[in-house]
Every structure is written in C-alpha cells, then in structure tokens.
Amino acid sequence: MIAIIPARGGSKGLPGKNIKNLLGKPLIAYTIEAALKSKYITDVIISTDDKEIRDIAVSLGALCPFLRPKELASDTALAVDNYIYTIEKLTVDHGFSIESFIVLQPTSPLRCTRDINSAILFFKEKNADSVISYVIEDHPVVWHKYLDEELKFQNIFNESLANRQDNRRSYYPNGAIFVFDYELIKRKKYYSDKTFAYIMPRNRSVDIDCIEDFEYAEFLLRKKDR
C-alpha cells in the first residue's frame, strides 16, 4: 500500500506550517518517518506544489515524482480531486498499480507508526471501503449552536436539557489517518456502509491549523520525550 502525504505550499492560518521547525526538524518529517517505518507501506509519496517542500521531503526518504498542479493546490480545491489526480499520474506515468492507499496529513505529528499499522490492518481485516481516524468528543454535540450577526443563539439540534452523562458519546475525525479503497475515491466519496473508525487517543490527535495548535503539539512532544 502506498501512503500519500498532501502538503501544499500555501497556508493562511500558519504560513509555511508543513516545514516549520518543530523541535529541531520540519513538521512534515514526523509523518514521513512514521510512514517509512510502517510494515504495510511500500512507498511514501509527497503531493505538493512547492519545490522547497518537495526537496525537504525527498531528503527525508519520501518520493515526489511530480509536482501538484496549481489548480489542485488552491484554497477551493477538493482533496479528493488531488487524490484521483495523484493516483492516475502514478499509474499512467510511473507504473504503479494501486487498489488502496493511505492518506497521512503532515499536520498530525503525534500520530505514530503503531496507529498507521493498526488502521491498515483493520482496513484489511474488515475488507473495508475506508477506515478513518476519529477521537472521542468530550462535550455533547447537542450543546453546539450557530450564532447570528447579533451573537444570538440559533439551534442546530433540538434543544435538550439532559445532563452531560445522559447524552450518547460522539466522535469526530482528527485528520490523522484515512485509508481508502480507490474505487470509493473514484466515486468521490469517503464513507460507505463499509467505513469504519479507527479510534485514537486525544494526546495523539492534535491537528495543526494555527500557532496555538503548533505550540500544543510542541508541548506534548516535549512531555513525551521526558
């Protein structure tokens, strides 16, 4: 199985985040290193439009046989379109034969090789269409509200005054792992009735979008190394 690490150059929330120095090495290095150690991954492919990201990733042992087109690296581009482009390009131009693949975002530096191996094994055991990493939500989802322009509340769900412990547990995707059957992706879907969750703990579920996320990941990594 190949791993695709999507790492476009543009980032408005945290400029240059994919190669930002995190405890002595670029952020993307944590994902590349974890993927290279996986016993199920044959090739680690970087999908980027940025030559600096490409050069750093290749120096770390990943492959980047082509750059992503600009139209697939914009803020409005859909990730699924990039996955289809990447796999078709690998198949037609580089001789790959891909039935399934794993997507590992570089913004999840605390995801480890054990998580990658376990998710892929789960995918194989279930003969799944997809396995996606999730983490438990600490607060009931029914507490969420919309706000209007005057900051007045608007209900998303029917109002409930139940105690926290009486609400059913909910989970949300942490962005760390996506294992896909290519036939599902060609239909531009992530979920089917054969999609399963790989549950990860909160301390490995940081997804870096802003400087506060980056600093929290740094804190957890320092704590881990003590």
Apex CA 178: angle with CA 175 and CA 179, to 5°? 170
Section 32-46 average pLDDT: 98
Domain ranges of the chain: 2-136+170-225
Note the pLDDT tens digit of each residue in 129-149. Answer: 999 999 999 888 888 999 999
Three-state SS across 193-220? CCEEEEECCHHHCCCCCCHHHHHHHHHH
The pLDDT value given to residue 139: 86
Note the pLDDT tens digit of each residue in 19-35. Answer: 999 999 999 999 999 99
The pLDDT value given to residue 206: 96
98: left (phi over 0), alpha (psi -120 to 50) or beta: beta
Note the pLDDT tens digit of each residue in 83-133. Answer: 999 999 999 999 999 999 999 999 999 999 999 999 999 999 999 999 999
> Looking up tokens 């239909």, which residue turns up?
187
Phi, psi of 3 (to 5 degrees): -110, 135
Cα 210 to Cα 219: distance, rounded to the nearest angstrom: 15
* Summary mean pLDDT of the chain: 95
The pLDDT value given to residue 178: 98
Q: Assess whether pLDDT exceeds 80 at residue 226.
A: no
The pLDDT value given to residue 159: 79
Note the pLDDT tens digit of each residue in 139-196. Answer: 888 889 999 999 999 999 887 777 777 788 999 999 999 999 999 999 999 999 999 9
CATH topology of domain 2-136+170-225: Spore Coat Polysaccharide Biosynthesis Protein SpsA; Chain A (3.90.550)
Cα 196 to Cα 16: distance, rounded to the nearest angstrom: 33
| DSSP label at residue 152 | -
